[in-house]
Amino acid sequence: MAGYNDHLQFVAKVIGRSDIPESVRIELHPLIERIQQRQSDPNLYLAVIGEFSSGKSTFINALLRDDLLKTSALVTTAAATRLRYGRNLQMVVRFKAPQPRIIKVNRYNKVKVNRQTGKVTVAWLPWCPGLKIRQFIHVVTSDDEVAKNVFNVTIAHPAQFIANGIVIIDTPGTNATNPKHAAITRDVVENEADAAIIIVPATMPLTQTFTDFLAGPVRSYLHRCIFVVTRMDQIRPREHNRLLENVRVRLAESLRIDHPKLHLCSAQVVMDNLSGDVQVEKGLRIWIDEFAQMESEIISRLRYERSESIKESIGRLFNQLFDQLDSHLRSQWNQYHARQAAIQREIIQDLNSFADQQHRECRRRIEDAVSRTGYKIDDCINSHRDRTISTIRNAIFGASDWDDLKWVLGSRVETILKDDQQSLRADVQRDCNKLSQAAEEAGRYFDQKFSEAYRRLQALGGRVETNSASASSSIQLNTYSVVYSAQELNSKNFGNSVKGFFSHLFRGLLNERKQKLWDEIRPNIYTYFDTIKKQAQQAVQTDAQNVTVALNRRIDAYITQYKTVVDAMLNEQKVELQRLTKLQESIQTDLSEIERRRNYL
């Protein structure tokens, strides 16, 4: 076993490195414990495997020379039961939660025993109102309602067969209606048994379901299996050879076993002879001697192969351990490559090109908004101009005399212009708000665009703060002051021009003067509104430039932040690559050593 200690030291060294996650150590620890326990356990574990109602329990009872396990065509073993040597009959049952307790039952120390009847009572098991030890064994090992709460059952028995350091494991039927039964048997074969007895009933030899089971989880361990054909007493003597040949052919064809050794027996005859309840016919008594001979041959074979069987079992455990260790070591590289591929797939590859694209999109959106806003402002001012011209003209031509005309020029025209100012400012501001809204929409567009990019980084595990770049205040435009200044300036200029008309206002006829006066005033009104329009458009262009600058700064902030995050992630990958590259030599050495040890085992 010195070689196995060396294997364990190697495993401890590998998983003790700082780069091995704690979760790996936790996962491997139970397997290492099992190997250590198996090393210190000198017993040979012999599983008895067969289908439901194949006679497994009867066969085990015959080995024990005791009608211990319940046998019936209607009953199947519900939990794996281990039988080991002991001077006296004793039973230890470990129950699962919510009853995590151990019950020990023997003829001296019982659980809640009635001293007069010697019966066992377990308060939380309604199926056990008061049972003797053998009845309790039957309930725990064969009643599904109880067995579903059982973790394991161990029975100590003074049988000579198991006095040789053999532990019999009675497994559930592989074709039982409860799928958990086959799973229990599979686990025993793969993780515990050193050897196995395969029960083949002569009355129904090697069904397809049983052959499929043997070709599955048991296939790798068939060389450690002993095939026993039971119930031979139920087959006519002249049919024996044909039956055995049929079994051999099926084993060869289905399981590729050449010239398998078949042991023949009738466990029921042995038990009938033991109990004396049934008179064994003279012609069947041969099976009593045959059973003893078979028993002797099995013990001899187990003794001969004992050391190799135990070593092979430990070797299987090591192979499982090395497979897991191999998988964990390789997964480190796989995780790195997967993350690297994900980063390359998800990040923006040409950040400068992406930034240029966003800047172009910003300009396009603002230019479109400026163009729309410009047209609306022109239409708005033209509409105000036309209404103002109409109102002033009506006031001039509506003057009834020279005094009334003088009042129109001196007061009424100024009032008309002032009345229009408030309305014009509101209308222009409303149109300019469309530019402000377009700026806000552009800002939200870029927020969304970069949020999506950041979410992809976050999905890769990047440390991304998405608020800093978009924390700038809302983009607002206000052309009110510009329009107001333009109106005030032009209103004053227009008023001065009107006053200049007074010097020649009263020469000639009234109607002629009205027409001449109107012809002189009207161009000034056009100039007045054209100046407002020009200054409003200039204000829009200035604000549009400011908006573009603000949005470009926001985009640049996003790009800077994004590059910082990506650089940090790539730097982490670079550090990880350096770590893995440095680790590569030791990992490859470990994997090569694992492969060498696996081949050795």
Phi, psi of 118 (to 5 degrees): 70, 25
Decide: 121 and 129 in contact? Cβ < 8 Å: yes
Cis amide linkage into residue 98, ω under 30° from 0: yes
Question: How far is residue 168's CA from residue 48's CA, in Å, rounded to a whole number?
Answer: 7
Q: For residue 295, which of 44, 62, 84, 83 has the smallest C-alpha distance?
A: 62
Q: What is the pLDDT of residue 85?
A: 95
| Position 66 pLDDT exceeds 60 | yes
Assess whether pLDDT exceeds 90 at residue 231: yes
Indicate if the pLDDT at residue 463 is higher than 70. Answer: no
Q: What percent of the chain has pLDDT over 90?
A: 21
CA distance 380 to 57: 103
What is the pLDDT averaged over residues 506-529?
84
Write out the two tokens for 66. Answer: 């005791």
User: In the predicted model, is pLDDT for residue 120 greater than 50?
Assistant: no
Q: Among 247, 161, 235, which Cα is nearest to 200's?
A: 247
> Given this model, what pLDDT does residue 110 score?
44
- At 232-283, the pLDDT tens digits run 999 999 999 999 999 999 999 988 888 888 999 999 999 999 988 888 888 8
CA distance 102 to 284: 43
CA dist., res. 95 & res. 266, Å (int)? 35
Enter the pTM of the model. 0.57
Domains annotated for the chain, with CATH where assigned, are 2-86+158-308 (3.40.50.300), 96-157 (no CATH), 347-566 (no CATH)
C-alpha span between 555 and 366 (Å, rounded): 14
- pLDDT confidence of residue 173: 81
pLDDT in tens, 168-205: 999 888 875 667 778 888 888 888 888 899 999 999 98
Among 269, 319, 317, smallest CA distance to 294 is for 269
Map tokens 């139970």 to a residue: 30
- Measured CA to CA, the distance from residue 598 to residue 601 in angstroms comes to 5
For residue 363, what pLDDT band results from cuts at 50, 70 and 90? confident
Note the pLDDT of residue 472: 42
- Return the pLDDT at 121: 45
Q: How would you class 165 by CB atoms within 10 Å of its CB: exposed for 0-12, middle for 13-18, buried for 19 or more? A: middle
CA of residue 94 relative to chain centroid, distance: 34
Count other Cβ atoms within 10 Å, centred on residue 223.
9
- Identify the band that residue 473 occupies on the pLDDT scale cut at 50, 70 and 90: very low
- Read off the tokens for 156: 């100590």
User: 338 pLDDT exceeds 70?
Assistant: yes
Average pLDDT of the chain, as a whole number:
80
Higher pLDDT, 232 or 555: 232
Per DSSP, 300 falls in state H
Length of the chain: 601
Whether the per-residue pLDDT at 464 is higher than 70: the answer is no
Neighbours of 193 (CB within 10 A): 26
Q: What is the pLDDT at residue 102?
A: 64
**Residue 75: is its pLDDT beyond 60?**
no
